[in-house]
A and B are shown apart, each in its own frame.
Chain A
Amino acid sequence: MQLEYAEVVSDKPVQRFLLKFYLSDIPIENLILISPYVSNLEGTRVTLDSICKKAVEKSIPFYVITRSPQEEYHQQAINTLLSYDPIELRYNESLHAKLYLCLCQDESQSFALIGSANLTRNSIEKNIEIAMMIYGRGRGREILRELSHWGLERLRTLNETRLVKKMKLQRR
């Protein structure tokens, strides 16, 4: 009778996560995207720009942790992120983890994706990726809490994690 709290996603996992975030109409407390490489996701169903716009529109605090850009596509994505207020951007050069978290006011609606996929167009259209989607119910809730502690606190406060851009948020 227990509802599933985790699910293996092998078909475009990052797109699945982003679509779920983008289409949901429930109050979201935080969006956290952690990926060594980031692109603008142009040509995919949910672009980085549209995610940023939703964060602005709904006043959702949005945290991004990535490596400092070495490639043009990565720099373009960083430029997009830098142009929006409710985004905090940090760099960590040792980052290899890929974790995407959407934390909702109602914890049972929260979800996360953890797996191999970077936040890039290649990971959606070209690469073979595998990931787990975790939902905020049953045992999944504890896992989400641990992941959010790691992403929102532990990783952000590591010595080698560097703040690049502070968040500014309109009063809700």
Chain B
Amino acid sequence: MDFKEWFCLNGRESFTIDPKVNPDDARFYFGREEIKNRIKGQLRRSFVEPGVPKMVIYGSFGSGKTQTLFHLEHYLQNERPEACRLIPKILHLDLEMHSKSDHKGWHLQLVETLGKATVSTWIDRLFSHTQNLDTELRNIFSNINMAEAAKNLRAGGDIGLLAWRWFCGYELKPNELERLNVTRSLGDLGAGDMVNALVGIGRLAEKNEEKLIFLMDEAEQFKNVKTGDATESLHTYIRKLSEPSNSSVGFIIASYALTQDDMAELLVRADVRTRIGENNFVEISPLPSIRDVQIFLKELLAELVEQNKAKQKIQNESLGVSPETYPFTAEAFEMLCEFASQDTIKSLPRNLIKAVNECAISAWDERKPIIEPNIVNEIAPLIFG
């Protein structure tokens, strides 16, 4: 018998959940009804036309920011809000910034996450539905250079690649610009121009019945930027992207921060905050009370343990534990909840999951069918102490 069978695990090797490793884990969001409902409510409202989600979530390491992003993707894909009439096209991006990163680096990451193939396919589809692609693209991008570059994305080989490089914001040589029939590189006019191109791509997505939404994790990386000019250009980029006039490119940004003021300064300047809206800055806090910890753990166990198998095991082996807390005895479960809620800074989902897993490994080492208080007493201080 292996660990998985020993604890009647439901199609998984351990008690760990991680949507980056197992995409199906995105459906989980344990024990945080208030935050979940608040974010989902904000999301539903954000789609009321003409609108798109613009949100910033923040919290400490292990508070569940990444899980929140993946869960929101799962929500949008599977329970699309009524106000969202188009199919959400959701793209994940772990932001990477260094001391000299500027708006060009951010733009490049966003556009590359989207990918040339996706944008080319949208233009191809548009071409098959329209009488005049040139006019259609000019209406979408409201800019002749962008329309020309977009048209060239349909071309194969060198020209298609050049057009993509143009949209990525690379500096092109004069003869390359000429081949694309454009008069300048995208980055020449600054951050606003790049946002306009991205928003244009968002409108192109809408013409293809899709709504572009970026989920950007690790926004604390903005703090790595040390150059004043680079910071200003990034600030301009986020400010323009947050403008009410952008109704085609949505974003949810996740950042490590214990308070709003702890975030990268460019994200919390007044002009950005007012555009995004105070309500759309959401803290993913630790689980505040013992009751929250209990709910979190019970919901986690209910999902990760195969309930029928566990009930049968409890009965057959006369284990004397409730299926609700299995594989923990009632006393061990309460003890774990108490340990976890002693210090609210440490009552984080990551720590709770780790504690359950380590307790189970410890029981497995001794080939014990259930987790008793002595195991919790040994493991919990290592994690919450």
Contacts and interface: CB of A to CB of B under 8 A. Distances in A.
A28 B378 CA distance: 21
Nearest to A171: B385
Given A106-B61, A171-B381, A146 B21 contact: yes
A72 to B, nearest CB: 28
A145 B96 contact: no
Contacts of A96: none
A167 to B, nearest CB: 7
A157 B361 contact: yes
Contacts of B357: 153
A153 B14 contact: yes
Contacts of B365: 163, 166
Interface in B56-89: 61-62
B3 A157 contact: yes
A156 to B, nearest CB: 6
Interface residues of B, number: 31
A142 B21 contact: yes
A106 B21 contact: no
B307 interface: no
Contacts of A172: 385
Nearest to A2: B96
B18 A154 contact: no
A54 interface: no
B310 to A, nearest CB: 18
Contacts of A171: 381, 385
B94 interface: yes
B42 interface: no
Interface residues of A, number: 27
A138 B382 CA distance: 30
A83 interface: no
B2 interface: yes
Contact of A108 (B101, B221, B361, B364): B221
B16 A106 contact: no
Q: Which of B3, B18, B94 has the most chain A CB atoms closer than 10 A to its own CB? A: B94
B20 interface: yes
A16 interface: no
A109 B18 CA distance: 19
Contacts of A149: 13-14, 16, 18, 21
Contacts of B108: 1
A154 B357 CA distance: 11
Interface string A126-146: 000000000001100110011
B382 A1 contact: no
Interface centre among B20, B61, B382 (most CB of A within 10 A): B382
Contact of A61 (B21, B61, B112, B382): B382
A105 interface: yes
B218 to A, nearest CB: 6
Interface of A: 1-3, 61, 105-108, 137-138, 141-142, 145-146, 149, 153-154, 156-159, 163, 166-167, 169, 171-172
